[in-house]
Every structure is written in structure tokens, then in C-alpha cells.
């Protein structure tokens, strides 16, 4: 394990959790705390992170990752959701996933797990490209400006060829009456396809999406098996979602 390799691992860990602990890193990488502190110094020098007592935290999520993956509000919450999802995904699973920032957070945590990921989002594919364990299938299709998602008949046809253990759907709204929804028809169409091909459906969304309805409806709540969200979720809404038969996982932040 050479220095640059450690740097890489530290940055990866940082992308996953947003905050890293010196002791933990020392154990994980098999070096002393002194070395970790020196590494963190070097990485701070290069602007990749900010030192804190006991560890370090990610610098403002603008440029912390390759290929300007769009980040946004509720980054901390999304990270927690991502970690929770990764912990729940079994080794070897075949996962279909849409684009979206919350899904991306989960994908970051899946690096290093041996799973098969089928996706129509090229930023998801890009994120997993360096991983040796993960097998990635890209649907193909016409690239939508800004959202990094592939749509159209090519995407549809490819998706139809796969059976998924799990569909990981990022949404812009989740509502008792109207189910899950998103902003554009093309994305909703892709999400619905994932759902029709999957054995189980997990929705990932930060708490701000609860109770909202976005213009393009994807599917009713009955199609969804599990919602992974953050502790900001309103207790009343949670109770009603659970009453509707949804398993709600609240990620500890």
C-alpha cells in the first residue's frame, strides 16, 4: 500500500461519509495515526478536505468528486441515506437504478461491493467505472442535457432485457394518494420500467420529498416496498406511509 493509494482510499471514504475519523482510517488502511495525520495534511494542502480534530471533513461539495457530479441541498442527509442503502443491499445483487443525487449518494457507498448495476444514468456509470468489483451495464439511449440520463427506445429495449433483484428509484415526490413522482415524463417513464422489471422496489428520498407530488407520476405507493429516508421525516407522514404498507427505513445521520 503506497502513499497515493492511501490518498485515494481516504478521498473515497470522504466522498462516502463526508466526514472521516483518524483512528478509523488508521485501522482501515493499516498505518499509524501519525501517518494518517500527515496524509490528511497533504490532502488539505491540495484542497480536497478540511482538517478537524480527530479527522477531517469534505470541503464544500463543489469539486470533491470527479466529473462535476451535481450535488445539492441536503447533502448530509443524502450521504446518510446512501450509507443505509449500501448496508441493506446484499452482495451479488442485480440492481437497477435511475439518476438523481440521492441515488448517486447510494452508488458512491456501493463502490467495492460486488454487485451488478443496470442504469440509464451515465454519471452513475462514471462513478462505478473505477470499481473492480462492480459490474456495470448501461442501457444506452439519447442523452438528456443536464440530467445525465439516457432515454428513448434504446434505453427501454435494453431495460426490458434484464431482470432486477432490486430497483433503486430516486424521486422528487412521494405521497400517500399519488404515489411517487418526478419532474419530467422521460424520467418517470424510465423509473416505471425499472419497477416493472424488478423483484423489489426501494425508493430513496430525503425528507423534503415526503408529502410532495411532482408533475410526472411514476407509480402508486403499492408498487414500492421500501423507502429509505433521513430522520427529518415528519412522524405523521411516516406513520401514514407505514400504514399504507410501506417499510420506512430512517437512516441515522
Partner DNA sequence: CATTTTTTGATCGTTTTTGCTCGTTTTACC
Partner DNA sequence: GGTAAAACGAGCAAAAACGATCAAAAAATG
By the criterion CB under 7 A, which residues form the site for DNA? Answer: 2-3, 6, 21-23, 30-35, 37-39, 41, 51-55
Pairing of strands 116-119, 94-97: parallel
Q: Give the Cβ contact number of residue 228 at 10 Å.
A: 24
Q: Which of 92, 142, 231, 236 binds a second copy (CB under 8 A)?
A: 142
Work out what residue 35 binds among a second copy, DNA, none; the CB cut-off runs from 5 to 8 Å by kind: DNA
How far apart are the C-alpha atoms of 171 and 17, rounded to whole Å? 22
Do the beta carbons of residue 219 and residue 246 sit within 8 Å? no
Spatial distance between the Cα atoms of 24 and 30, rounded to a whole number of angstroms: 10
154 part of the interface to a second copy, by CB under 8 A: yes
Give whole-number Cα distances, 5 to 11, 39, 40, 83, in Å: 10, 11, 13, 23
Q: Which option in a second copy, DNA, none does residue 136 bind, with CB closer than 5 to 8 A by kind?
A: a second copy
Here's the x/- map for a second copy, 157-196, by CB under 8 A: it reads as: -x--x-----------------------------------
The answer to whether 141 and 157 have CB atoms below 8 angstroms apart is: no
Selection from DNA, a second copy, none that 182 binds (CB < 5 to 8 A by kind) is: none
Binding site for a second copy (CB under 8 A): 1-5, 8, 16-19, 21-22, 46, 52-55, 57, 62-63, 66-67, 122-123, 125-126, 128-132, 135-143, 145-146, 148, 150, 154-155, 158, 161
Amino acid at each position: 500500500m503506497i502513499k497515493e493509494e492511501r490518498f485515494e482510499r481516504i478521498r473515497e471514504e470522504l466522498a462516502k461519509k463526508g466526514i472521516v475519523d483518524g483512528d478509523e482510517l488508521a485501522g482501515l488502511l493499516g498505518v499509524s495515526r501519525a501517518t494518517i495525520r500527515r496524509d490528511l495534511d497533504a490532502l488539505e494542502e491540495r484542497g480536497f478536505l478540511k482538517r478537524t480534530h480527530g479527522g477531517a471533513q469534505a470541503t464544500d461539495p463543489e469539486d470533491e468528486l470527479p466529473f462535476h457530479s451535481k450535488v445539492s441541498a441536503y447533502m448530509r442527509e443524502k450521504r446518510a441515506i446512501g450509507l443505509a442503502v449500501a448496508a441493506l443491499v446484499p452482495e451479488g445483487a442485480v440492481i437497477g437504478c435511475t439518476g438523481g443525487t440521492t441515488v448517486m449518494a447510494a452508488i458512491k457507498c456501493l463502490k467495492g461491493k460486488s454487485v451488478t448495476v443496470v442504469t440509464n444514468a451515465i454519471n452513475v456509470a462514471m462513478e462505478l467505472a473505477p470499481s473492480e468489483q462492480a459490474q456495470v451495464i448501461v442501457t444506452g439511449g439519447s442523452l438528456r442535457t443536464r440530467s445525465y440520463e439516457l432515454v428513448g427506445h434504446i434505453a427501454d429495449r435494453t431495460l426490458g432485457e434484464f431482470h432486477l433483484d432490486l430497483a433503486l428509484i430516486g424521486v422528487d415526490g412521494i405521497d400517500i394518494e399519488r404515489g411517487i413522482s418526478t419532474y419530467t415524463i422521460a424520467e418517470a417513464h424510465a423509473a416505471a420500467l425499472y419497477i416493472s422489471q424488478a423483484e423489489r422496489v426501494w425508493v430513496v428520498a430525503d425528507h423534503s420529498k415526503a408529502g410532495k407530488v411532482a408533475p410526472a407520476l411514476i407509480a402508486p405507493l403499492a408498487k414500492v416496498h421500501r423507502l429509505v429516508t433521513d430522520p427529518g421525516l415528519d412522524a405523521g407522514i411516516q406513520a401514514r406511509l407505514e400504514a399504507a404498507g410501506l417499510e420506512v427505513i430512517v437512516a441515522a445521520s
